[in-house]
Amino acid sequence: MLRRFFSYYKPYKNLFILDFGCAVIAGLLELGFPIAVNQFVDKLLPGKDWNLIILASAALLGVYVLNTVLNYIVTYWGHMLGVNIETRMRRKMFGHLQKLSFRFYDNNKTGHLMSRISNDLDNIGEVAHHGPEDVFIAFMTLIGSFLLMLSIHWKLAVLTFLVVPVLVWVALHYNGKMTKTYRGLFGALADFNARVEENIGGIRVVQAFANEEHEKKQFAENNGKYRTTKLQAYKIMAGSMSINYMMMRLVSLFVMVCGTWFVIRGELSYGEFIGFLLLANVFTRPIEKINAIIESYPKGIAGFKRYLEIMDTAPDVTDQADAVDAGWLKGDIVFDRVSFGYDGEAKVLNDISLKIQAGETVAFVGPSGAGKTTLCSLLPRFYEPNDGSISIDGTDIRKMTLSSLRRNIGIVQQDVYLFSGSIRENISYGKLDANEQEIWEAARRAKLEEFILAQPEGMDTVIGERGVKLSGGQKQRLAIARMFLKNPPILILDEATSALDTETELAIQKSLAELSEGRTTLVIAHRLATIKNADRIVVVSEEGISEQGRHEDLVGAGGHYSRLHQAQFGVLNS
Ligand code: ADP
Ligand code: MG
């Protein structure tokens, strides 16, 4: 996993080298100060040569300035490195999310995914910058200061070194604990985000049911869990910080007492003693660093693991190696013994065979849950059949690239999904490079022109999140305009008008009829009046396709369709 983590540094090699180099030099300079003080006290002080003392001070000042500049570079450019890595990961993750299949989104919550792409990646950025640098410098400081202490007084140095195993133990112990806690923390945060996302998204339902108290209780549960995990993390942090603080003081005290003993015995000069004390401080500094690492590293690693979980999820449906661009299709569709189930067990579609000619309008009717929507969603390969195959114009759809296949298919559903921008943006979603004239033409054909002209902002009118500022009929017209612009040879109308009142439905039916002219059209509708004129009606039941034919024939056949017809119109023949 660490190897994969470091592979993200590749594009920023120069930045990494700059940051790392500066950090190492700054670390070495830190090591030099105690030695300088040592020399100052032992060599310069007894000589009482003011010129030399001023010269040395000036040199020291120069080094301080240099160190300041280095620290600026490490802080700014180093963080730039982290931010760049984080940004690149975010871009990759978003790209991957665009590719993941319907099945993935059936089983994942929006809020969870949001939390991964925002919070988790934030923490990765922090670690990407500080992680390798801090670890390296911690070791460098530890070893460097130890060597210098050895050169001053080896016995005292060895005694001081005995503290290292304890340091390592503390680091390992708390690091493991923290990684686990942070994984839990991010999970809790994701749950919390998902809850808020769902609540805000459905706030109109919440208020309509007057279920605010219920929602508050549920939220309190998530919030409480988040609090508990967060406290857990702080508890561990407090523990490791206290132990570290104690260790540092103990080392200083120990050096002071032992050092004094050696000074009294004449084994250590005053300058060496002061230098050694300062070095011992530097020696314990990695403990502080380790503290910082214990705080940030587990967060980043937990975040990175969650990042990898998404990146390692392969889309169920992808372009096959031999897939080619489908170009513009005519729309001859053949379902050949297609079987499908969402979870591999319960079959929704069983051995369905069906031929649809280019330009034909085929209506699907049948009880709710029979699999009409499912059947239609196999055509753009939102899901892959478990058995059998689907072809268009004689070519298996698996042999076409996904984007070229989907370019040929337009879908208008009952619950239109609109984006929060302007009317223009939403219409042109059907063809991103459409010009003004094409957009207006599409609006006109969808009978939306009058409405748009009546708006003070015209085409630039903002329609609110998911188009909340529009009526059901207006939303549907927008979806139709979008489809006119897309102009696909194959059209799927899935209960497109079911949510509308009868009058609006009739009006929209006209637009839909115009839209489906010259296209292969699959219509799903439960109001038979809207599909009477279809070229063919296919009755789908749990057992599969139970009958098909023209309206008049089916009404007379005395099967499922005629019963449905009777139920809706109250007469056997009409
Ligand atoms: P229809 O459109 O005919 O009303 P659907 O095709 O929507 O029926 O649904 C057929 C069956 O598949 C139903 O039993 C439904 O519960 C199930 N189903 C639909 N969508 C999903 C999904 N995304 N995941 C799992 N099961 C689903
Ligand atoms: Mg349906």
Q: Which atom of ligand 1 is nearest to the CA of 372?
A: 3
Residue 66 has pLDDT above 90, yes or no: yes
**What pLDDT is recorded for position 426?**
93
Using a 6 Å cutoff on CB, does residue 368 contact ligand 1? Answer: yes
**What pLDDT is recorded for position 297?**
80
Give DSSP secondary structure letters for 163-182: THHHHHHHHHHHHHHHHHHH
3 state DSSP class of 477? helix
Name beta bridge partners: 362.
Answer: 522, 536
Question: Which of 37-51, 214-228, 234-248, 333-347 ranks highest by mean pLDDT?
Answer: 214-228
Please report, rounded to a whole number, the percentage of residues in the chain having pLDDT higher than 90.
45
> 302 or 8, which is more confident?
8
Considering just the CA atoms, what is the radius of gyration of the chain in Å?
Answer: 36
Using a 6 Å cutoff on CB, does residue 464 contact ligand 1? Answer: no
**What pLDDT is recorded for position 306?**
87
Contacts of 405 (CB under 8 A, 6+ apart): 326, 380, 381, 392, 397
Q: Which atom of ligand 1 is nearest to the CA of 366?
A: 3
**What pLDDT is recorded for position 571?**
53
pTM here is: 0.81
Q: Which of 102, 338, 342, 347 to mutate to test the pocket of ligand 1 (most atoms within 8 A of CB)?
A: 342
Token representation of residue 273: 């003693």
Give the residue-averaged pLDDT of 224-234.
91
Residue 52: pLDDT band with limits 50, 70, 90:
confident
Residue ranges per structural domain of the chain:
2-311
Closest CA to 319 of 94, 99, 95, 93: 99
The ligand that comes nearest to the alpha carbon of residue 496 is 2
> 285 or 27, which is more confident?
27
**What pLDDT is recorded for position 574?**
43
Q: How many A from CA of 24 to the centre of ligand 2?
A: 63
Token representation of residue 210: 């007057």
Residue 483 has pLDDT above 80, yes or no: yes
Measured from the Cβ of residue 122, the count of other Cβ atoms closer than 10 Å reads: 16
Give the residue-averaged pLDDT of 262-289.
87
**What pLDDT is recorded for position 301?**
84
Give the residue-averaged pLDDT of 279-289.
81
Residue-averaged pLDDT of the chain: 88
Tens digits of per-residue pLDDT, 414-445?
A: 888 898 889 999 999 999 999 999 999 999 99
- CATH 1.20.1560.10 is held by the domain 2-311: yes
Tens digits of per-residue pLDDT, 182-192?
A: 888 888 888 88
Question: Which of 197-206, 324-333, 336-345 ranks highest by mean pLDDT?
Answer: 324-333
Please report, rounded to a whole number, the percentage of residues in the chain having pLDDT higher than 70.
98
Q: Which atom of ligand 1 is nearest to the CA of 377?
A: 6
| Residue 367 CA to its chain's centroid (Å) | 37
ipTM: 0.97
